[in-house]
Structures are given as C-alpha cells and as structure tokens.
Amino acid sequence: MITIIGAGKVGSSAAFNILGRRISDVVLVDIAENLAVGEALDMMQAAPAIEFDGKIKGTSDYSEMRGSDLVIVTAGFPRQPGMSRIDLVNKNAKITKTITREVVKHAPECKLMIVSNPVDLMTYVAYKESGFERNRVFGMGNILDTLRFRSYIAAELGVSREDIRGLVIGEHGDSMVPLVNFASVSGIPITTLLKDEQIEKIVNLTKTSGADVIKLKGSTVYAPAAVISIMADAVLTGRNRVMSVCAYLDGEYGLRDLAIGVPCVLGKKGVERIIELRLDAEAKREFEKSASVIKETKEKMDTSD
Ligand code: NAD
C-alpha cells in the first residue's frame, strides 16, 4: 500500500497516476480533510474507467497510513509574496518534521519518499528526523529534471522521447547539472548528433523548465506526478530502476551529511545502491558547486521545533 501525505495538486495527481498504472492501493492524507476525502471519492468514481479495483481512501487521520510500504510526502507550501526563500525552507521543514514523526509512529517499516520543496533539504530533514536507515529515505527531484532534459533533446532531434536516455544530478534547482556526456539516443551520444549551441540551448531550457511552467500556471503538476508514479512502481515492484534520486550521501562523491541528486538503483529497499560516476572536470566542478548551494541553505535552516 502507498500513502500520499498532501492531497493538493501534486499529491492527488500522483495518486491518480498510481491508480491508473495499477501499482497499489492508495491512502491520501491531508490536514484539509474534505480535500482528501473529495479527491479520493472523485478517483473512486473514475476507477471503473481506469480498471482499478483496489482501495483509494481520503482522510485527515495519519494512522490510516499503517502498513504502508511507501509513504510519499507532497505536503508543503509554495512561496507567498514577501516570503524569503529561507522563510519558505523553515516553514516546510517544520511541516516535514511533523509529518515524519507521524510516519515513524504509524508506518515504521516504510520507505519514505519526499517531494516537498526544496526537496534536497526536506529529504535531509526527513532522514534526520526519522532515524530510518538512509536507503529508506529519499527524494524526487532530478528524475523530473531528467524527464525535461529528455523531452528537449527529443524535440531538438525530432525523434521519439522514449529513445532518449540521460541524467541530471545535483540540486533540484537552479544549480542542477544536466550531464551532456551521459546523454544518448538509443546509445548514440548526443554530442555526436547535436552542435554545441543546440546542446547549450537544451541545457538552459532544462534548467529553467520548472520555473517556465510556474510562471505560466502557478505550479508544476503532471510531470512531477508522472515521475512520482515511476519511482513508486520501482519501489513497490522491486524492478531496480536506475535513475537520479535525491539520496543521503555518506562519503560518496566525497560528500557527507547531505542529501543531493545522484544516480541510484531504486528498488524494494528504496535506494539499493548509489552509483558513483566518473565525472569529467567541468561536470565535477558544477556538481561540487551545486552541493555547496544546498550546504549553504542547510546551514541557515532552522531545524528547531
Ligand atoms: P498544494 O498547495 O496544492 O498542496 C499541498 C497540500 O499539503 C495542501 O493540500 C495542504 O493542505 C497539505 N498539507 C500542508 N501541511 C500538511 C500536513 N502537516 N499534513 C498533511 N497535509 C498537509 O501544493 P502542490 O502544488 O501539490 O505542491 C506540494 C509540494 O510539492 C510543494 O512543496 C511543491 O513545491 C512540491 N513540488 C515538488 C516537486 C519536485 O520535483 N520535488 C515538483 C512539484 C511540486
């Protein structure tokens, strides 16, 4: 069973993706009880059309997550006018801590996937607060950036999006690192198919892609919801998918006490393995810069109750 905490735009849309792919039963928890119950009811009524016969329940009662294999946290607030970035970090850190305590109480054996932003820091907060083994706490960020990277490469080449493979690592934010040398079209390096200017355009589009959507419609929904279901599928079925996951590092890439996006094997235990890439000098420098961006905010973050 999967519990999604936060039945807002991303949480409810992720739930519908999970049901549509028949990955698991879903419990939706939100402090706004009517919202959670209403979303679940709406989805239950769609269930005959999407051929889903399992359970979908909406509630404000955290104890309903009992027995969950995977708990996904999509509860958090976007930045309000006049609110600084660090104010937002502190506000969402408090929510993440509160929710993590409930998770520890009611689903102590689960894997915990964080989506709330800034996801690298919220994953760190959840890991520290939970006391879980580090493989069980991870975040969704760079897989979404990778999806966007793949989409823009496909558009530039005029080929199927399915045939594009790629990786984005680092912060899920402005300092992300799309790895050009690891991107391919069915194994053919994109560097042999595209000119430098085309690649630069794709990298820039990837970096601004989230903000581009937010500028137009206020928040991103379908893309994050779709990748949440891919990660959920990897964990529930144990398919050992390889993707960029926000993982807590303890020496990998020369970094400690930090959660950041790196390629991982995602399976039944959560992060089954962290893959250490041999990065070229430029990518290494950019990744280190990205890590220092996360570290700086981490040091300013208020983690008191
Ligand atoms: P939203 O405002 O639509 O939904 C958030 C929901 O969380 C609300 O319904 C609210 O009632 C609920 N909530 C708040 N505190 C709660 C608590 N303590 N317990 C249970 N529920 C609680 O927002 P959204 O657009 O769905 O985005 C949710 C979060 O996901 C934001 O932090 C957003 O930045 C983040 N996000 C992350 C990614 C990513 O790639 N990691 C992508 C998109 C959105």
pLDDT tens digit sequence for 40-55: 999 999 999 999 999 9
User: What sign results for the dihedral spanned by CA atoms 244, 184, 221, 107?
Assistant: negative
132 part of a folded domain: yes
Residue of the CA atom closest to atom 18 of ligand 1? 95
In DSSP terms, which residues pair with 273 in a beta bridge?
Answer: 265
Distances (CA, A) of 204 to 145, 148, 174, 300: 12, 11, 10, 28
Q: Which domain holds residue 20?
A: 2-139
- State the total domains in the chain: 1
Tokens of 153: 């490469």
Q: What mean pLDDT is reported for the chain? A: 96
pLDDT of amino acid 303: 80
Does residue 104 belong to any structural domain of this protein?
yes
Look at residue 35 and tell me if it is in a domain: yes
Pocket of ligand 1 (CB under 6 A): 5-11, 29-32, 35, 74-76, 78, 92, 95, 98-99, 115-117, 119, 140-141, 144, 172, 219-220, 224
Cα dihedral sign, 236-8-98-226: positive
Under 8 Å between Cβ of 290 and 260: yes
The catalytic residue among 148, 172, 207, 241 is 172
Is 186 a domain residue? Answer: no
* Residue 153 counted as domain residue: no
CA gap 35, 31 in Å, rounded: 9
Within a domain: 12: yes
Instruction: Supply the CATH number for residue 102's domain.
Output: 3.40.50.720
CA of 255 to the centre of ligand 1 (A): 29
Residue-level pLDDT at 237: 96
Give 76 Cα–ligand 1 centroid separation in angstroms: 4
Which atom of ligand 1 sits closest to the CA of residue 76?
Answer: 32
Which of 60, 74, 113 has most ligand 1 atoms within 8 Å of its beta carbon, as the pocket-test mutant?
Answer: 74
Question: Has residue 108 been placed in a domain?
Answer: yes
Quote the pLDDT of residue 59: 98
Are the C-beta atoms of 246 and 119 separated by less than 8 Å? yes
Which residues in the chain show pLDDT less than 70?
Answer: 79-82
- pLDDT, tens digit, 9 for 90 and up, residues 241-260: 999 999 999 999 999 999 99
Question: What local confidence, expressed as pLDDT, does residue 304 receive?
Answer: 80
pLDDT for 257 equals: 97
d(CA 188, CA 172): 26
Catalytic residue status for 106: no
Residue 138 to residue 247: CA distance in whole angstroms? 5
259: enclosing H helix or E strand: strand 256-267
**Is residue 127 in a domain?**
yes
State which amino acid sits at residue 25. D
- Kindly write down the DSSP assignment for every residue of 265-302, as one continuous string: EEETTEEEEE------HHHHHHHHHHHHHHHHHHHH--
Res 84: pLDDT: 74
User: Can you tell me which atom of ligand 1 is nearest the CA of 99?
Assistant: 18
pLDDT at 305: 77
Omega into 118 within 30° of 0, i.e. cis? yes
